[in-house]
Amino acid sequence: MKKNKLKIEIADKAGFCYGVKKAVEHAEKAPETRQRPIYTVGPLMHNKIEVNRLADMGIKTIDNPESVRKGTLIIRTHGLPKELMQKIKKNTVELIDATCPFVKRVQNLIEKLTQEGYNIVIIGEKDHPETIGLVSYASKQVKVVNSVSGVKKLKLPEPVAVVSQTTQSAEKFDTLVRELSKKYKSIKIFNTICSASNERQEEAANLAKKVDVMFVIGGKNSGNTTRLKDICSKYVATYHVESEKEITKKHLKGVKVAGITAGASTPTWLIKSIIKYMQQI
C-alpha cells in the first residue's frame, strides 16, 4: 500500500529573530576579524545546538567575564546587568555588544522611568537572563511578576510603571496589566513585548488551529519557545523538540498535516534538517 505523503506547513516567522540573527553574524565573523580568544558572556542565545556549533568555531562561553584580560567578549542577546557591563568596559578587551535592540530599549526606558520617580513592575520570569539585566537598570524599587497571584501580593508604592520582558506572551501581559490597573491608580503601562514575538505567537496560534499536530523547535531553556508550545497546545497536540532525535513515527501516526514553528534562537539549518527527517520517517 502506498504511504500518504505527510504535508508540512511552516510558520513564516519560525526561527531567528532580528536580534539573534545579528548576534550570530557577529559571532561567526569574530574569529577572523577580532582579537582571539573569542568569548560570549553566557550562552549567546538559548539554543544549545547552535551554541555548540559556535563553540566548534572556537567561540567559548564563560560566566566570569571580569577575569578576561585578552581577546574579545560578545555580549549575549539577552543583555547583561548594568554593573557587570560597567566592569567589562574597564577591561582591556575588545567588546561586541550583541544585546537585542528591543532589550536595550527596555533597559533605557526603565532607567528613564526610575529617574522620573516611578517604581517598576516587570512582567516576566525573574530568573531569565534578560529580566535579571532589566532589574539592574532600576534605581528605585523594582518587582518582577509572572502571575495574577504575584500581582495581588505586590507591595510597591505609587507611582508605578509597568514594562515587560520582550518575549512575554501578549495574553499574559494583558491579563496582568488588568490586575495591576485595579491595584494602582497612579500607573503607566508600556507594552515592551517585541513585535516579532507578538507576530510569532499569533502566527503559531493560527497555524495550530489548522493542522493535526504541531512541532515547536527550540531550546528547552528558551522562554519564548516554551511560550509558543503553550500557545499551540491550546488548539492541538504539540511537541517541543530540540532536534530530530526527539521525533518518532508515533508522533506522526494518523497525521495528514503537521505544523512547524520555531523559537527566536532556532537556526534555519536546524529547521530544514528536522523537516527533511520528518518527510523520510
Q: Which of the listed residues 126, 160, 193 is the one where a domain comes to its end?
A: 193
Q: Which of the listed residues 157, 178, 193 is the one where a domain comes to its end?
A: 193
Mind listing the pLDDT tens digit of every residue in the chain (281 residues)? Answer: 445 689 999 999 999 999 999 999 999 999 999 999 999 999 999 999 999 999 999 999 999 998 888 999 999 999 999 999 999 988 868 999 999 999 999 999 999 999 999 999 999 999 999 999 999 999 999 999 999 999 999 999 999 999 999 999 999 999 999 999 999 999 999 999 999 999 999 999 999 999 999 999 999 999 999 999 999 999 999 999 999 999 999 999 999 999 999 999 999 999 999 999 999 98
Q: Active site residue: 50, 130, 242, 244, which one?
A: 130
Q: State whether 107 and 188 are in the same domain.
A: yes
Q: State whether 108 and 184 are in the same domain.
A: yes
Q: State whether 127 and 189 are in the same domain.
A: yes
How many structural domains is the chain composed of? 3
All three cell numbers of 270, joined, read 536546524
Decide if 35 is inside a domain. Answer: yes
- Cell numbers 510603571 correspond to 161
Q: State whether 211 and 251 are in the same domain.
A: yes
Whether the upstream peptide bond of residue 37 has omega within 30° of 0, thus cis, is yes
Decide if 2 is inside a domain. Answer: no
- Cell numbers 532525535 correspond to 245
Residues 8, 280 contacting (CB under 8 angstroms): no
CATH number reported for the structural domain that contains residue 11 in this entry: 3.40.1010.20
Report d(CA 228, CA 233) in Å as an integer: 8
Range of the domain at 254: 7-15+196-280
Decide if 1 is inside a domain. Answer: no
DSSP letter for each residue of 48-86: HHHHHHHHHTTEEEES-GGG--SSEEEE-TT---HHHHH
Beta carbons within 8 Å of 263's beta carbon, 6+ residues apart: 46, 47, 216, 217, 218, 219, 222, 224, 225, 228
pTM exceeding the 0.85 threshold for the entire prediction: yes
Is 130 in the active site? yes
Q: State whether 189 and 107 are in the same domain.
A: yes
